[in-house]
């Protein structure tokens, strides 16, 4: 047997590549066709790419040096963006906790409630924050309130899912011990499940703040307040030097928040 294996007998070699099934081949062919159709629909050409590179060069040349003449207005708009993101995330996180408790298998009162809560969270998560912003601009008008409500909805969808998953991953033994000792369901949740899941809740909430700041910039482009309004105005007026100033401030704030949240997560999880 050893000699046959050494001479390359296929019966003794582990199969590395199996022939795909007919269904797999159909899926591969469909994916390749869809991919090629997408490239064709994008109208990619050497001329367009070359012109695009030239236009980027023109934008870069007209952006330098950055215009700091309106730095006070830009700084206030960035502060408004940060506040909008923070307020939206705080309210979203608070509302996410009961949704997560109703969506988790080990804390939901019954299957119907869990199904309803899970689908509500999934719906909120599926609708993009830009669409939420457009809805709330129509509902409450232009300004930061529309952005706060949009971020709050997006945060509920994001945190509600991850909070529920973390609750389901908690160690069941402390909860079982408290239940055996006669504690109520709410007491078990408050004394066992939530304390264990709390560090993960904080880490997820910090990710939400980072995500919300980037989203808040885009929401301002549709009238939801913040620095996005300033960026849209600068680009529409071809004031690329002011636009570069706004971009640099956004970059500075986003990087600072990411470093701060990373430090807090390390402190919590260490």
Residue 61 lies in a domain: no
CA-based Rg of the chain, rounded to a whole angstrom? Answer: 26
Report in angstroms the alpha-carbon separations of 32 from 37, 40, 83, 209.
Answer: 8, 12, 45, 38
Report the share of the chain in percent with pLDDT over 90: 10
Please tell me which residue, 131 or 16, carries the higher pLDDT value: 131
Report the share of the chain in percent with pLDDT over 70: 92
Residue 256 lies in a domain: yes
Question: What is the average pLDDT across 40-53?
Answer: 79
Tokens coding 104: 């988790």
Q: Which domain holds residue 118?
A: 71-269
The band of 105, judged by pLDDT with boundaries at 50, 70 and 90, is: confident
Q: Give the single-character DSSP code of 254.
A: H
Specify the pLDDT at position 234. 82
Phi/psi at 201 (5° precision): -60, -45
The band of 11, judged by pLDDT with boundaries at 50, 70 and 90, is: low
- Asked if residues 103 and 118 have their Cβ atoms less than 8 Å apart, the reply is yes
pLDDT over 50 (residue 256) = yes
Question: What is the 3 state secondary structure string of 150-217?
Answer: HHHHHHHHHHHHHHHHHHHCCCHHHHHHHHHCCCCHHHHHHHHHHHHHHHHHHHHHHHHHHHHHHHHH
Residue 33 lies in a domain: no
What is the CATH classification number for the domain harbouring 178? 1.10.3720.10
Please tell me which residue, 266 or 125, carries the higher pLDDT value: 125
Residue 9 lies in a domain: no
The structure's pTM equals 0.77
- The total of structural domains in the chain comes to 1
Residue 197 lies in a domain: yes
pLDDT over 90 (residue 270) = no
Tokens coding 165: 């998953």
- Give tens-digit pLDDT for 17-39: 667 777 888 888 889 988 888 88
Specify the pLDDT at position 91. 93
Specify the pLDDT at position 94. 93
Residue 43 lies in a domain: no
Estimate to the nearest angstrom the gap between the alpha carbon of 132 and the chain centroid.
Answer: 14
Residue 15 lies in a domain: no
Residue 168 lies in a domain: yes
Long-range contact pairs involving 205-210 (C-beta distance under 8 Å, separation at least 24): 205/89, 205/93, 205/159, 206/261, 206/264, 206/265, 207/261, 208/89, 208/92, 208/93, 208/155, 208/158, 208/159, 209/85, 209/86, 209/89, 209/257, 209/261, 210/254, 210/257, 210/258, 210/261
């Amino acid at each position: 047997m050893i000699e046959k294996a050494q001479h390359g007998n296929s019966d003794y070699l582990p199969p590395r590549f199996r022939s795909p099934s007919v269904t797999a081949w159909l899926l591969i062919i469909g994916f390749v066709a869809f991919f090629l159709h997408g490239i064709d629909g994008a109208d990619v050409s050497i001329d367009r790419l070359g012109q695009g590179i030239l236009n980027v060069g023109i934008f870069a040349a007209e952006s330098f040096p950055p215009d700091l003449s309106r730095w006070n207005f830009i700084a206030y708009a960035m502060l408004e963006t940060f506040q909008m993101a923070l307020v939206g995330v705080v309210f979203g996180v608070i509302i996410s906790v009961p949704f997560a408790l109703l969506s988790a298998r080990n804390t939901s009162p019954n299957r119907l409630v869990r199904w309803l809560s899970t689908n509500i969270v999934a719906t909120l998560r599926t609708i993009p924050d830009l669409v939420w912003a457009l809805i709330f601009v129509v509902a409450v008008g232009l300004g930061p309130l529309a952005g706060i409500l949009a971020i709050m909805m997006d945060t509920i969808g994001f945190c509600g899912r991850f909070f529920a998953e973390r609750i389901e991953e908690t160690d069941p033994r402390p909860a079982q011990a408290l239940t055996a000792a006669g504690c109520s369901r709410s007491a078990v949740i408050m004394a066992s499940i939530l304390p264990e899941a709390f560090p993960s809740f904080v880490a997820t909430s910090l990710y939400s703040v980072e995500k919300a700041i980037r989203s808040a910039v885009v929401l301002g482009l549709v009238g939801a307040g913040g620095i996005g309004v300033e960026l849209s105005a600068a680009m529409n007026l071809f004031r690329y030097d002011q636009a570069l100033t706004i971009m640099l401030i956004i970059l500075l704030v986003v990087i600072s928040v990411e470093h701060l949240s990373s430090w807090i997560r390390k402190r919590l999880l260490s």
